[in-house]
Amino acid sequence: MTATTVDGATAPQAAAPSRAVSTVTPKAAIALGVVLALYALLLLLAPHEGDARFRLSTERDLFVLPTLEVPALATAWVCAAIGLAVVALAVVRNLGGRRVPLWGTVLYAAALLVGFLAWAAAGSPRDLSVVGLLSGAVVLCVPIVYGALGGVIGERAGVVNIAIEGQLLAGAFTAAIVGSLTNSPWAGLLAAMVASVLVALVLGLFAITYKVNQIIVGVVLNVLVIGLTSFLYSQVLVPSAEVLNTTTRFARIPIPFLERIPLLGPVLFNQTIVVYLMFVMVFAVWFALYRTRWGLRVRAVGEHPKAADTVGIDVVRTRYRAVVTAGAVAGIGGAFYTVVSINQFNREMTAGAGFIALAAVIFGKWNPVRAALAGLLFGFATNLQNVLSVVGSPVPSQFMLMLPYVVTLLAVAGLVGRSRPPAADGVPYTKE
Amino acid sequence: MRLELRGITKRFGALVANDHIDLVVEPGEIHSLLGENGAGKSTLMNVLYGLYTADEGQILLDDEVQRFDGPGDAMAAGIGMVHQHFMLVPVFTVAENVMLGHESTRAGGVLDLDSAREVVREISARFGFHVDPDALVEDLPVGVQQRVEIIKALSRNADVLVLDEPTAVLTPQETDELMGIMRQLRDEGVAIVFITHKLREVRAVADRITVIRHGRVVGEASPTATDAELASLMVGRAVELTVHKETPRLGDNALEVRDLVVTSPDGQPLVDGVSFTVRGGEVLVVAGVQGNGQTELTEALLGLHESARGSIRLDGHEIVGRSVRRILDAGVGFVPEDRTEDGLVAEFTIAENLILNRTDGPPFVRGGSLQLDARDDFAREKVAEFDVRTQGIDVPVGRLSGGNQQKVVLARELSRDLRLLVAAQPTRGVDVGSIEFIHKRIVATRDAGIPVVVVSTELDEAVALADRIMVMYRGKVVGIVPSTTPRDVLGLMMAGIAPETEGEAA
């Protein structure tokens, strides 16, 4: 090496002030239009006569909302008209070089959803329970939201975590064993967090200390955890399922009075402690990242680790702490499977939720609140499929099973808009 | 606080970057560390700041030996540093950047942003900085970002302030303002280490000058020394600082650019309606602060930008829309801005790099196979002609010094049959000795009747080389003026202010 390159080596690229300039493309209008066309096609090709009944209340409510009974086809077409109005608005806006307002997108989505539900539930002997649809969505989004929160923390510190799936699975597995042995869901929850932190430590060791490609480490960790838990499940859990794989679950804790508010009460205020904790956690992570010293430093090492280093922040230690914290959070999501949802562990029971959580991180633009909302959306999509199969939807269930993944794909590919990840996301820090 | 470095030695493998360097900086003094690129100035400062650990030697503050395990220790001891590449988080506000690392907090680690804002306001009022504590750093111009760096250091009560090549990114006016700030700080008793390779600035602001060459202190100089004296100390021999050239003999051939527009992938104009003409036999220097579209302009001349619109005519032939290969064949020689990135393949040998853009046919390729003898003969000839200091033509180019690498690029481009030479930052990171040589070759190309476009962010170079100077600001041409234009006018033009009397038309 020559003397010239030594000076050069002390001055790596400063974070270039590359900014995501918002430019409006007609992508939004086109996407909305195409989906609307598909929806209209569905109504035309498979008209579904009869009435649809939406049940809004449960027996325990303070007062009972009447069951909505609407003519299905007419409702569906009215909704289509509303959707068309939004598409028209989108076209006008985009042509004028402006974005589609958020309320427009929300209205569009709501209209199409209601229309679709009316069409699907038409003539069904059962009522479609809106409460069931929503409360199920809240429950199903739990592991995704915890996983996404873990992902957000890790990536904000500059460590990409593909291993969320592995963390969830390891958490679920450990919670099942410890929860069964101790008969305490709390012990299971704690064990899940420990197991997930262990996975996080392995990730940290390779990604931060040994600077291995983070995508590869994450993928390998997932495969490792899947293999390990599957093996132990068949060799250890199955033979002694009574002792090792039968947990006590967290009970629902209805919050007095609040739980009797129609519609909202059963959805939000009659859940397990893990769900309540989730609401708290979303806010807590947001607050910690944006309002505390810890968060400022985490974001600094994720954006410009060298700058953090030059003001005396230990980049490696900060990243380790963030990854471990993220692991603990994701672990709670793992515990959900075996001490909240059902009372035993099954092979690969997380079924890709960790990857959907990863999508929620991106969809949520690395913001904990947005990521949680994205997780809720994916939970809703999953539950929609469950509910529709109950009311006897005309769509084959195999197609409905695809729904959460299709929503994930659409959300990440098209609707997320331009988002900027932390500048040093996935880049190991090399001290000179 | 009095800073003393005693016998600092830092080695990188076999290379001794700092060789027993002694340096004393008194409080209330601007001490300039002068040296060429690669002389070891930045290494020394990184040792001082705790980013490197010295192999030998001591750092003393007020006669007490210090031991720095990291920048945190150095800062705690009262050393502040404004890095050449700013150490600011672009998506943070000014206040957040200033507080980062020594945050004041309320209960439970909750950030106390109000006190950080107050610190920023207080310091910026004291020095007349006009910095908004809530502005996002990425939205600020570089000159203001630099002030944020200074505020950052001062907020940590720095008694020793190191400024590493602080003027590289500034317009001449911003440079003057920075010097004013430095004097103000000095008068408050701060010890300032000012690292640079620009002689003019050293003489303007320094109280004492220490010159470093090849990692050693080669002497002290007083600010009253002439440029020539400082330069010869810096380089180790007498150097020619001015470029000798005759009055241009203009030919009929020309490069004509009309309404050239280059846009970024997200639709932002980078080059915005640029028009100019360069006749054969003259040098047009494109001046301006870095990042005002010069890079994109040169790349468009070579056909590297698909988004280029408008007209570029070389000898009357339109070249917009042609492939790079065809533009090269039309006789365009191109010295890219970043030779290690775009100009050379570091792992390839000198000989291989010399024929990199001539592999389409004879004499170096026949029937699809390389003609090694022809290549090596050519390489030996060019290495001699361009004075490339190397042990042989089969040395990987990456092992050469910056100046010698640039000579290889120049040799490759100038040995083709040229109709136009485009040289972007031809002397950046090049030692003074090589600068002389490169300037001579550029002038020789001009005298051969070829239009030459040079991009330079160094005003000295622009004035020395140019027959005419075109100043760019935010992608637009501010004006095209003769090289005799006063420096302060050029400086204003670099800040986007057009001269009152428009120079000769494009």
Q: Nearest residue of A to residue B52 by CA position?
A: A432
- Its ipTM equals 0.82
For residues A58 and A64, what is the distance between their CA atoms, to the nearest angstrom?
A: 7
> Which residue type sits at B226?
T
User: H or E stretch including B274?
Assistant: strand B269-279
CATH of B3-235, one of 1.25.40.10, 2.60.120.10, 1.10.3230.20, 3.40.50.300: 3.40.50.300
Q: What pLDDT sits at residue A6?
A: 35
Describe the crossing of helices A293-303 and A273-291 by its angle, rounded to 10 degrees: 70
CA distances from B400 to A411, B215, B347, B413 (A): 50, 18, 11, 18
pLDDT-based confidence at B333, cuts 50/70/90? very high
> Which of the 8 DSSP states describes residue A65?
P
Interface test with A, best of B46, B53, B81, B91 (most A CBs within 10 A): B91
What is the maximum alpha-carbon separation in chain A?
83
> Which of the 8 DSSP states describes residue B340?
I
The residue to which tokens 């009929």 are assigned:
B252
**Cβ contacts of residue A293 below 8 Å, gap of 6+?**
B103, B105, B109, B110, B111
For residues B371 and B12, what is the distance between their CA atoms, to the nearest angstrom?
A: 39
- The answer to whether residue A365 neighbours chain B at the CB level (below 8 Å) is no
Among A407-416, B278-287, B338-347, B408-417, which stretch is predicted with the lowest mean pLDDT? A407-416
Cβ–Cβ under 8 Å, residues B120 and B98? yes
Fold of the domain built from segment(s) B254-331+417-494: Rossmann fold (3.40.50)
For residues B306 and A91, what is the distance between their CA atoms, to the nearest angstrom?
A: 29
Neighbour count for residue B331 (Cβ, 10 Å): 15
Domain spans of chain B, in order of start: 3-235, 254-331+417-494, 344-406
> According to DSSP H, which parts of B49-171 are helical?
71-76, 94-99, 113-127, 142-155
The verdict on a CB contact (< 8 Å) between B100 and A2 is: no
Cβ–Cβ under 8 Å, residues A330 and A164? yes
Q: What pLDDT sits at residue B32?
A: 93
- The answer to whether residue B429 neighbours chain A at the CB level (below 8 Å) is yes
For residues A292 and A317, what is the distance between their CA atoms, to the nearest angstrom?
A: 17
For residues A195 and A173, what is the distance between their CA atoms, to the nearest angstrom?
A: 9
Q: What pLDDT sits at residue B398?
A: 85
pLDDT digits 0-9 by tens, B438-470: 999 999 999 999 999 999 988 888 988 999 999
Q: Which residues of B are less than 8 Å from A311 in CB distance? A: 71-72, 75, 87, 100-102, 152
Q: What pLDDT sits at residue B215?
A: 87
Quote the pTM value: 0.80
Q: What pLDDT sits at residue B246?
A: 84
Q: What pLDDT sits at residue B403?
A: 83
Cβ–Cβ under 8 Å, residues B438 and B448? no
**Cβ contacts of residue A228 below 8 Å, gap of 6+?**
none
- The answer to whether residue B349 neighbours chain A at the CB level (below 8 Å) is no
Q: Which residues of B are less than 8 Å from A310 in CB distance? A: 49, 51, 71, 81, 83, 87
> At residue B347, does pLDDT exceed 60?
yes
Q: Nearest residue of A to residue B430 by CA position?
A: A4
> Which residue type sits at B263?
T
**Cβ contacts of residue B338 below 8 Å, gap of 6+?**
none
For residues B94 and B83, what is the distance between their CA atoms, to the nearest angstrom?
A: 16
Q: Which residues of A are less than 8 Å from B152 in CB distance? A: 311
- The answer to whether residue A293 neighbours chain B at the CB level (below 8 Å) is yes
Q: Nearest residue of B to residue A13 by CA position?
A: B85
The verdict on a CB contact (< 8 Å) between A3 and B39 is: yes
CA distances from B193 to A70, A303, B39, B461 (A): 80, 29, 16, 25
As to burial, measured by CB atoms within 10 angstroms (0-12 exposed, 13-18 middle, 19+ buried), residue A230 is middle
- The answer to whether residue A97 neighbours chain B at the CB level (below 8 Å) is no
A138's tokens: 């809240």
For residues A399 and A376, what is the distance between their CA atoms, to the nearest angstrom?
A: 21
Kindly write down the DSSP assignment for every residue of A269-320, as one continuous string: SEEEHHHHHHHHHHHHHHHHHHHBHHHHHHHHHHH-HHHHHHTT--HHHHHH
Given the DSSP bridges, would you call strands B365-366 and A68-71 parallel, antiparallel or unpaired? unpaired
Render the burial of B210-232: b for 16+ CB within 10 Å, e for the rest.
Answer: bbbbebbbbeebeeebeeeebbb
Cβ–Cβ under 8 Å, residues A360 and A305? no
**Cβ contacts of residue B430 below 8 Å, gap of 6+?**
B37, B402, B403, B406, B438
The residue to which tokens 């028209």 are assigned:
A88
Cβ–Cβ under 8 Å, residues B208 and B55? no
pLDDT digits 0-9 by tens, B475-501: 999 999 998 998 889 988 988 888 775
CATH of A135-378, one of 1.10.3470, 1.10.287, 2.10.25, 3.40.50: 1.10.3470
Q: What pLDDT sits at residue B245?
A: 84
> For residue B159, how many C-alpha atoms fall within 13 Å in the half-sphere facing its CB?
13
Domain spans of chain A, in order of start: 27-125, 135-378
Q: What is the CA radius of gyration of chain A?
A: 24
Q: What's the mean pLDDT in B43-60? A: 90
Print pLDDT tens along chain A (432 aa).
Answer: 333 333 333 333 333 333 333 455 677 788 888 888 988 888 888 877 788 888 887 777 777 788 888 888 888 899 999 999 998 988 888 787 777 777 888 888 888 888 888 888 887 777 888 888 898 899 999 999 999 999 999 999 999 999 999 999 999 999 999 999 999 999 999 999 999 999 999 999 999 999 999 999 999 999 999 999 999 999 999 999 889 999 999 999 998 888 888 888 888 888 999 999 999 999 999 999 999 999 999 999 999 999 999 998 999 999 999 999 999 999 999 999 999 999 999 999 998 899 999 989 988 889 999 999 989 988 888 888 888 877 777 777 777 777 777 776 766 665 555 567 888 888 888 876
Q: What pLDDT sits at residue A4?
A: 35
B22's tokens: 């002694």
B65's tokens: 């030996």
Q: What pLDDT sits at residue A14?
A: 35
**How many Å separate Cα A358 from the centre of its chain?**
7
Q: How far apart are the first and last CA of chain B?
A: 54
Neighbour count for residue B501 (Cβ, 10 Å): 8
- The answer to whether residue A156 neighbours chain B at the CB level (below 8 Å) is no
On average, the pLDDT of chain B sits at 89
The verdict on a CB contact (< 8 Å) between A7 and B37 is: yes
Interface test with A, best of B43, B49, B79, B87 (most A CBs within 10 A): B87
> Which of the 8 DSSP states describes residue A245?
S
pLDDT digits 0-9 by tens, B128-184: 888 999 999 988 888 889 999 999 999 998 999 999 888 877 878 888 889 999 999
